[in-house]
Structure 1
Amino acid sequence: MTLRIALILCAAMAAPVAAEPMSAAEFEAYVTGKTLFYGRDGRSYGAEIYRENRRVTWSFLDGECKDGYWYNEGRNICFVYEDRPGDPQCWSFEQQGGGLVATFENDPASTELYEAQDVGEEMVCLGPKIGV
């Protein structure tokens, strides 16, 4: 994890003020054209590229990327990826501490928060595995 990502994650975790979940229009205006790096428990978790027309590319920062799209369901933002077309991953997003905080809504008992910030870095996608 780069020092820049670590500093951004620490700053986001220091913001205790709760906010209202973002609407789909607010989320779209905030993320479109950005690459956001997400962290969990102060560590890097993954990154997502947000394109026009609600198209996305996700990576756990392991060089493997998955294309998909997002849609809103009430106040949730749900993501569908090419490897799991029938299994939407739904989140609620709030703006806190200069970035986003996302809460996974598929598991009502989940208390894990994911923090996000546009760090101006590129997400690396290595492409399909070929060979033996």
Structure 2
Amino acid sequence: MKHLVLCLLALAPLPAHAAEPMSASEFESYVIGKTLYFGLGGQDYGVEEYLPDRQVRWSFLDGKCKDGYWYEEANMICFVYEDALSPQCWSFYRDGAKLRAVFQNDPDNTVLYEAQQNEKPMMCFGPDVGV
């Protein structure tokens, strides 16, 4: 009986966190035309708007936006923003109807989760101007 239980457990589907990361085409199909809000540890973290031709706009929810683009490299989705030339690479997973993102440039693997989505453009303030 004990061997039967072990065999059945071995055949059970793997949990979602063991799933393969999304490919570039899966990611693009999911995000194109959307604005996704991300959370970290139960707190609001940031928002990203996914534009045509793999262009993106990111904000830490402070109204300051950074334009950039994304590309696929080694099963990761990497982002380059206008203020930093080194890529930030993430692995994206489907977690039910939402996304989970694991930051690959961080030894602690920061994990963001999709908190909300809509199709409205995000709010970006203009550049700071002095007197």
Q: What TM-score do you get using the length of structure 2 for normalisation?
A: 0.82
Q: Which amino acid aligns with 1:99?
A: K
Partner in structure 1 of residue 105 of structure 2: 106
> 1:29-82 CA distances to partner (integer Å, 9 max, x unpaired)?
000100000000011000000011000000000010000000000210000000
- Aligned residues of 1:61 and 1:123 also touching (Cα < 8 A): no
Partner in structure 2 of residue 115 of structure 1: 113
Distance 1:72 1:119 in 2: 22
- Aligned residues of 2:56 and 2:70 also touching (Cα < 8 A): yes
Partner in structure 1 of residue 84 of structure 2: 84
Q: Which residues of 2 match residues 1-132 of structure 1 at below 5 A?
A: 17-18=16-17, 19-85=19-85, 87-107=86-106, 109-120=107-118, 122-132=121-131
Identity %: 55
> 1:5-47 CA distances to partner (integer Å, 9 max, x unpaired)?
xxxxxxxxxxx73222000110010001000000000110000
- Aligned residues of 2:34 and 2:117 also touching (Cα < 8 A): no
- Aligned residues of 2:101 and 2:113 also touching (Cα < 8 A): yes
Gaps of 5+ in 2: 1-14
Gaps of 5+ in 1: 1-15
Residue 16 of structure 2 aligns to a residue whose secondary structure is: coil
Q: Which has the higher contact order (CA 8 A, sep 6+)?
A: 1
TM superposition shift of 1:117: 4.5
Q: What TM-score do you get using the length of structure 1 for normalisation?
A: 0.81
Distance 1:46 1:75 in 2: 23
TM superposition shift of 1:99: 0.5
Q: RMSD between aligned alpha carbons?
A: 1.5
Q: Which amino acid aligns with 1:53?
A: D
Distance 1:43 1:117, change over 3 A: closer
Distance 1:20 1:26 in 2: 11
